[in-house]
Amino acid sequence: MLSDEQLLRYNRQILLHDFDIQGQEKLQRAGVLIVGLGGLGCPAALYLAAAGVGRLVLADGDDVELSNLQRQLAHAQADIGVNKAQSAAATISDINPSVETQVIAHRLTGDALAAAVNDVDLVVDCSDNYPTRFELNRACITARVPLVSAAAVRSEGQLTVFDPASGGPCYRCLYPTEGADTALSCSESGVLAPVVGVFGALQAMEALKLLAGYGEPLLGQLLLMDLRSGHQQQLKLPVRPDCPDCSSLR
């Protein structure tokens, strides 16, 4: 049940006829795990908090550095040296104090990762390395929890939703071979600040659609965009029948 203050706060999205109060109440009851509070995780977390998701679990083992402030807008100059999940939680509290935040100030792995995934309705993958992405994919498959995944570097990015429990592909269907330890990084290749902002915001949009039952999420679809040229395309992601991670669901 929404309070008068919440009805006023969320009025603009409640006005959407196919979102309405029912969609807002679903957000209020939802829990979301955000893995990584960097360039993607900051906008994703802030938009989910502002939209009224009831509980956000924020996981990141890194501290804020000066070079992060160009694009990681949940952190400020005074947060340098502070754990990123803690810094983001403080910013969220300023934006929407009714959102419950849980801080995990270390890298999630093993049993701790499995427990965190089992405790939420949806996971947003904003990590920057392949081992975490593959392990998170397996944890979400086991828990049957949808995974919103994005990556961005330079002026380019990609976005999709994985939910093999509903019949779609998983992260390993897209990347069948577990290879290098680290994905293409902003520190090596560079990135314009709005690029991660756009894709982090799009991750939040996909999460809201899934949680509220609104619109058409990018299930089994890969959105590719190059913001330098404005070029974009949407590709269908097939299920790999022999996928070692998700084939057991079929």
Three-class DSSP category at 132: helix
pLDDT band at 185 (very low <50, low <70, confident <90, very high): low
pLDDT in tens, 83-113: 999 999 999 999 999 999 999 999 999 999 9
Give domain 18-249's CATH architecture: 3-Layer(aba) Sandwich (3.40)
What confidence score (pLDDT) does residue 190 get?
Answer: 79
**Distances from the Cα of 99 to the Cα of 6, 52, 168, 172, 210, angstroms:** 11, 7, 31, 33, 19
pLDDT in tens, 121-157: 999 999 989 999 999 999 999 999 999 999 999 999 9
Please state at what angle helix 41-51 crosses helix 193-212, rounded to 10 degrees. 40
pLDDT in tens, 186-215: 556 778 999 999 999 999 999 999 999 999
Query: What is the mean predicted confidence (pLDDT) over 43-71?
Result: 98
What confidence score (pLDDT) does residue 1 get?
Answer: 83
Q: If you search the block for the tokens 């999940």, which residue do you land on? A: 85
What confidence score (pLDDT) does residue 249 get?
Answer: 80
What confidence score (pLDDT) does residue 177 get?
Answer: 84
Please say whether the beta carbons of 82 and 60 come within 8 A. Answer: no
Please say whether the beta carbons of 235 and 221 come within 8 A. Answer: yes
- DSSP result, 139-206: HHHHHT--EEEEEEEBTEEEEEEE-GGGT---HHHHS-S---SS---HHHH-B-HHHHHHHHHHHHHH
Pairing type for strands 147-153 and 156-162 reads antiparallel
> What are the beta bridge partners of residue 235?
222
Query: What is the mean predicted confidence (pLDDT) over 13-24?
Result: 95
Please report how many Cα atoms fall inside a 13 Å half-sphere around the Cα of residue 5, on the Cβ side. 4
Domain positions in the chain are 18-249
Q: Positive or negative CA dihedral for 43, 25, 170, 141?
A: positive
